[in-house]
Structure formats: C-alpha cells, structure tokens
Amino acid sequence: MKALLLLADGAEEMETVIPVDVLRRAEIDVTVAGLTGIAPVTCSRNVVIVPDKSVEDAVKEGPYDVIILPGGGGGAKNLSESSAVGIVLKEQENKNGIIAAICAGPTALLSHGIGKGKTITSHPGVSEKLINSGMYTYSEERVVRDGQLITSRGPGTAFEFALCIVETLKGKDMVEKIVPPMLLKV
C-alpha cells in the first residue's frame, strides 16, 4: 500500500506528521511530497519538515492508494492554488482512489472540484466556505468517510483521521495492532 501526502508551506504540523507516522506504523509506504520541491517546508507553527520528494517526482512513482492533504490555512491555500495538486486529485478521484483531507485541507477539494455531492467535515473556520459552495453536505463529526473521501476537523482529530485511513486501507485488525503501543485512547 502506498500513500502520498502533499506538503506545502504553511501546512499544520500535527496534521502532517501524525498521519505520516501512524500510516508508517501500519506498514504503509508514505511519501511526503513537497509542493515546491525538496526544500525544507516551514509549517504553520514554524516547525520545518523536509519532504521525501517533489510532487513531480512522487507522481512518477504512483499510483497511490490514498492522497492526503493536511490543513493549516497557508498550506491549504497553497494546495488550493496549485494546478499540480488539482491534477493529482482529479486522477485519484477518476480512478476511485481514496482522498483524505483534514482541517482547512478540504478547501483544496473545493478549489479543484473534488467530491461533489459528498458529506464532508473541516475545521470550523472554513466550514462556511464549504457549506456556501453548495457542493457538499456538511457534518460536524470529528472524522467523516463518504465512499472514497475521508475528511476531518483539525489537529485534535489527527489520530482519528489517520486511523480511519489505516482502517480503510488495511482493516480494523491493523488498527487494533498499532493503537496499543501508541497508548492512544480511542
């Protein structure tokens, strides 16, 4: 199984690192792809993360079972404005692959026309934009899975978000295997 996390300047740190870590614990091959290349990316709280590859190079190594969009206002804005992200997301949706977005990340789904008619959630700070688009049914659940689309609310839901991705890709048994060593309360 392979996952691609798209990382842009201004991404939220926890929403980036927690899914990467949890998926790797579940033996999923995760590639962190930098939107602007392999240069270190400064996240929303000034944590610096070095991508594994550029988006361009990572795409050549696809297909991926899941594409992950972290939030963070600046990061989501950068993902929303990137034509490369739009192409990756549309290809994933067209092949009925899984797309997962957390916090402000779902605004990139909106910008690229992904998930029309689906039920989603997001950070409360961007909910009106998503609701007013008329493109989605909005939920305030902590994690929402509607078919191949997984969305979540913010940093405090990052573990639940990541575990939903793991369960979708590898089943409940894998979730039950990786939760105890992390001392998570689920």
Strand ranges in the chain using DSSP code E only, listed in sequence order: 2-7, 29-34, 41-42, 48-49, 53-54, 66-69, 98-102, 119-120, 137-138, 143-146, 149-152
Categorize the per-residue pLDDT at 186 as very low, low, confident or very high, splitting at 50, 70 and 90.
confident
What percent of the chain has a predicted confidence (pLDDT) above 70? 100
Identified catalytic residue from 43, 103, 112, 164: 103
pTM: 0.97
Can you tell me the mean pLDDT for 129-144? 98
The pLDDT of residue 76 is: 98
Asked about 103 being catalytic, the answer comes back as yes
Q: Is there a catalytic annotation at residue 164? A: no
Please tell me what DSSP assigns to residue 37.
Answer: -
Single out the catalytic residue among 43, 112, 123, 164: 123
Q: What pLDDT sits at residue 142?
A: 98
